[in-house]
Chains A and B, each alone.
Chain A
């Protein structure tokens, strides 16, 4: 992790990120905006670095990076192969080695109503990926019934750790645990968030029986996995469309178990929202978890 942070930057800028490297375990984001102070976000705290790379809290003395610096950093992040990252740039983010995500802001070039590319990039938001192994451990007795896995849905507002929990569930299910045998898990990772794949290789530990389809649309990916990899479990992050739920229903009816996440703040809201569209999530999912955040603490419970 600490090594990853320095590796993101060309040699000439690394001195500015030495403190960030030391705080790697708790650092959440590094925000680089052209001409603006370099901002580091660490569990609710914001700090900067001076021209020597020392951590400071005084905005006036904070180091700034400029457009040409940003261009060099972006080129380094893309291995000097920006052309190879066009599809990701179009979506506004890159996934780099270590599974960290780099958000991009700049001038959006449209082509027939679709984003062609983002140019004149002037802001980068580096989100440091943290892998928290064991967070799903307490929930394991709830997701199995006599050794059989239930279909699981994780409901959570953004930033409460639904992907982290999903990743840990996948790892436990794939490796096997004291409640159930190891199962073949197929992951459709549309935004490279679950596995944090870099050049197709998962950077996160998803277990020994997990196959990852990286950067693949969920709907296409689920069908592809079903046809080619015969998974026992399919895992997807952030269900967003009726078609995706229909596909999950089909997969579930064919005997495949489902582990999925969805945005929402309560079970009732989510179920109501989807029942309007004629879908009953409770018919698919036998085990629903709700995540929330209270005073810097992340709380998960079965609902």
Chain B
């Protein structure tokens, strides 16, 4: 009974740790994809002077494009021109993505200065990068804690078994 209880606790802890880690990993993946999208947007703007719908189309058509499907849908809706603004479309399609407000802030309040959007994208990139690093640090710490707990649990189990 003792062994069974111990195993249950151990298994539960491991599963809980794995689930939390997996969630963190998903959030991290979102950040990585957003960062990649920002980098691709910057490239299209800087080197192609492409307008946003053009950028979305070009990036969206790319192989393994981050959020390619969403970008293509935004492009299609802009092309139909039902009057919805690009920020509202980004909000609509990216609402389930973590930290989308940082990304969205780039497209609202654009100044007439040509560098407006590029500067905003740079700022968003820096902020997302910082959050990503914090998360990676947290994930790393959690992994260490999980590993320590697992080792301790294992040791305790061996002691109890003996």
**Do A and B actually bind?**
yes
Query: Are A80's CB and B116's CB within 8 A?
Result: no
Interface of B is mostly: loop
Interface segment, one of A34-42, A114-122, A170-178: A114-122
Query: Are B51's CB and A9's CB within 8 A?
Result: no
Interface residues on chain A, size class: 20 to 34
Which residue of chain A is the closest to B82 with respect to CB atoms? Answer: A11
Query: Are A199's CB and B51's CB within 8 A?
Result: yes
A219 on the B face (CB < 8 A): no
A14 on the B face (CB < 8 A): yes
A178-193 contact mask (Cβ, 8 Å, vs B): 1 or 0: 0000000000000000
B23-50 contact mask (Cβ, 8 Å, vs A): 1 or 0: 0000000000000000000000100011
Query: Are B51's CB and A119's CB within 8 A?
Result: no
Complex CA gap A9/B83 in Å reads: 7
Interfacial chain A residues near B65, Cβ < 8 Å? none
Query: Are B49's CB and A83's CB within 8 A?
Result: yes
Interface residues on chain B, size class: 20 to 34
Query: Are B110's CB and A80's CB within 8 A?
Result: yes
B14 on the A face (CB < 8 A): no
Query: Are A83's CB and B114's CB within 8 A?
Result: yes
Query: Are B112's CB and A79's CB within 8 A?
Result: no
Interfacial chain B residues near A76, Cβ < 8 Å? 85
Interfacial chain A residues near B84, Cβ < 8 Å? 10-11
Complex CA gap A83/B46 in Å reads: 10
Query: Are B116's CB and A83's CB within 8 A?
Result: yes
Complex CA gap A82/B49 in Å reads: 10
- A10-B85 contact, Cβ under 8 Å, with A79-B78, A83-B49: yes
Complex CA gap A128/B54 in Å reads: 25
A75 on the B face (CB < 8 A): yes
Q: Which of A11, A12, A72, A119 has the most CB of B within 10 A?
A: A11
CB distance from A230 to the nearest CB of B (A): 29
Query: Are B86's CB and A121's CB within 8 A?
Result: no
Interfacial chain A residues near B52, Cβ < 8 Å? 79-81
Query: Are A84's CB and B107's CB within 8 A?
Result: no
A86 on the B face (CB < 8 A): yes
- A7-B81 contact, Cβ under 8 Å, with A80-B86, A199-B54: yes
Query: Are B114's CB and A86's CB within 8 A?
Result: yes
Query: Are B112's CB and A118's CB within 8 A?
Result: yes
- A75-B110 contact, Cβ under 8 Å, with A81-B117, A83-B116, A199-B54: yes
Interfacial chain B residues near A79, Cβ < 8 Å? 51-53, 78, 86
Complex CA gap A6/B82 in Å reads: 9
Q: For chain B, residues 52 to 109, give those with C-beta under 8 angstroms from any C-beta of chain A.
A: 52-54, 78, 81-87, 107
Interfacial chain A residues near B85, Cβ < 8 Å? 10-11, 72, 75-76, 80
What 4 new A-B contacts, CB under 8 Å, besides A83-B114, A120-B112, A199-B54? A12-B83, A72-B85, A82-B114, A117-B114
User: Which residues of A are in contact with B by a Cβ distance under 8 Å?
Assistant: 6-7, 9-12, 14, 72, 74-76, 78-84, 86, 89, 106, 117-121, 199
